[in-house]
């Protein structure tokens, strides 16, 4: 049982005992006053009022138990434990209401006892992990470096330089639970999401499956497949990583590398665009509306025949401004009997986007457009049942589901 629970229970029992004693003394005094004609105290009213019984008893001779008058008792006769109970109640309430109990008070007392060292020594603005450090010369102490290293080994607290040294790569496993996402998992393991994505070969974080087993390394970094012509020096220069770190982490005993060998690059990060692609944050919505037709097979609204729909249809009012989903170069502008007025924009890494059924085109081929730039107005040209935007995404010439890449 926790300390605060014990204190609460003892406080409650003390209060109950105190109340029972008060009730007993009140009833006892009232009984003695009514039936033995003891004087009424100055404060308070009698607990029971029986006027006729009182008059009857007044004219009825009653043998006195004692010739002396009973002394008027005190209001609360709870004994010596009254102060003890009050202290216990106050202490319990204080312990219960303080977030950390009495630990801050104990630290404050300890800090005051060691005030001769200096108050500034306890400020946490420097030191590793919130542990303050200071120059021993300020204290007038002469401690050799060897003894400091020995103390560090005994206490298990390494010097700050130890944190920057490479270490062997070790892995643990984790099974994905309902509600897990890469960002929260990486935060719980003390890693960045680039590490989990690269080590586990995740191409789309939105497709993370429950009960999927992930490898969790003991340090940040990404995997890199060795290509033809790569050397340790070139890889270290590319990722701004010391050669010694690559050798230590990957347990390399020579400078020669084999093609297609996978190296772990400590401290490296993924490219921002690659990370946005994997997280599904690569494109913005070209318009804001309702999806009237999704990517994949559907029944044609004109023939009723089941056919593949290469993009998504977003229903919007006529003339709604259409924005470029990502920065790129306009490669094609024109009219098609199916797509009506359309614009095609080429982006990095083999991506292209198609915007169809426009009423007005507001760009031309060869223009460079930024993310969110106005390139046209929504319409219903070509084969269309109403004003909307047909939005298609190509990756190396193959259509993919735009919903997996839109924020």
Among 166, 162, 159, 219, residue whose Cα is nearest residue 195: 219
Q: Which residue has the higher pLDDT, 35 or 315?
A: 315
Counting every residue written for the chain, the total comes to 407
Helices (H) and strands (E) in the chain, counts: 10, 16
Q: Which residue has the higher pLDDT, 91 or 224?
A: 224
The strand ranges marked E within 229-339 are 262-266, 290-293, 296-299, 306-309, 312-315, 321-323, 328-336
pLDDT (0 to 100) of residue 69: 53
Say whether pLDDT at 99 is over 70: no
The stretch 176-185 carries a mean pLDDT of 90
Q: Please, what are the domains in the chain?
A: 3-97 (no CATH), 114-160 (no CATH), 171-278 (3.10.350.10), 290-404 (2.70.70.10)
Contact assessment for residue 73 and residue 25, using Cβ atoms and an 8 Å cutoff: yes
Contact assessment for residue 246 and residue 232, using Cβ atoms and an 8 Å cutoff: yes
- The segment with the largest mean pLDDT, out of 167-176, 299-308, 314-323, 398-407, is 314-323
Residues 6+ apart with CB under 8 A from 296: 308, 309, 401
**pLDDT class of 106 with cuts at 50, 70, 90:** low
Contact assessment for residue 376 and residue 358, using Cβ atoms and an 8 Å cutoff: yes
From residue 375, alpha-carbon distances to 245, 359, 388, 400 in Å are 49, 11, 15, 22
pLDDT (0 to 100) of residue 352: 94
Residue whose token pair is 């050798």: 247
Q: Residues of the chain with pLDDT > 90: what percent?
A: 34
For the record, the structure tokens of 231 come out as: 């050397």
């Amino acid at each position: 049982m926790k300390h605060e629970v014990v204190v609460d229970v003892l406080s409650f029992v003390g209060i109950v005992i105190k109340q029972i004693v008060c009730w007993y003394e009140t009833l006892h005094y009232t009984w003695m006053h009514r039936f033995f004609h003891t004087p009424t105290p100055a404060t308070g009213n009698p607990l029971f009022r029986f006027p006729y019984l009182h008059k009857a008893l007044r004219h009825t001779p009653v043998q006195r138990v004692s010739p002396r008058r009973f002394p008027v008792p005190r209001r609360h006769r709870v004994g010596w434990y009254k102060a003890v109970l009050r202290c216990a109640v106050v202490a319990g309430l204080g312990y219960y209401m303080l977030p950390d109990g009495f630990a801050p008070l104990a630290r404050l007392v300890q800090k005051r006892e060691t005030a001769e060292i200096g108050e500034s020594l306890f400020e946490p603005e420097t030191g590793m992990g919130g542990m303050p450090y200071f120059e021993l010369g300020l204290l007038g102490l002469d401690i050799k470096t060897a003894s400091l290293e020995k103390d560090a080994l005994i206490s298990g607290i390494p010097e700050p330089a130890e944190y920057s040294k490479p270490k062997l790569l070790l892995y643990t496993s984790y099974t994905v639970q309902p509600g897990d996402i890469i960002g929260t998992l990486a935060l719980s393991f003390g890693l960045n999401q680039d590490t989990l994505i690269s080590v586990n070969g995740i191409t789309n974080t939105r497709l993370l499956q429950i009960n999927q087993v992930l490898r969790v390394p003991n340090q940040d970094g990404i995997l890199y497949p060795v290509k033809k012509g790569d050397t340790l020096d070139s890889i270290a220069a590319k990722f701004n990583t010391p050669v010694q770190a690559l050798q230590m982490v990957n347990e390399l005993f020579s400078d020669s590398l084999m093609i297609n060998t996978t190296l772990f690059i400590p401290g490296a990060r993924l490219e921002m665009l690659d990370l946005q692609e994997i997280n599904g944050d690569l494109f913005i919505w070209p318009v804001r509306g309702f999806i009237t037709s999704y990517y994949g097979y559907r029944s044609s609204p004109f023939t009723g025949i089941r056919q593949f729909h290469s993009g998504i249809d977003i229903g919007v009012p006529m003339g709604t401004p259409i924005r470029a989903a990502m920065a790129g170069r306009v490669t094609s502008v024109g009219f098609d009997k199916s797509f009506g007025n359309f614009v095609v924009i080429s982006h990095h890494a083999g991506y292209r986007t198609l915007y169809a059924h426009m009423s007005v085109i507001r760009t031309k081929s060869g223009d460079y457009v930024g993310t969110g730039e106005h390139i046209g107005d929504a319409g219903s040209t070509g084969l269309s049942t109403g004003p909307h935007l047909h939005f298609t995404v190509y990756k190396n010439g193959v259509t993919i589901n735009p919903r997996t890449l839109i924020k």
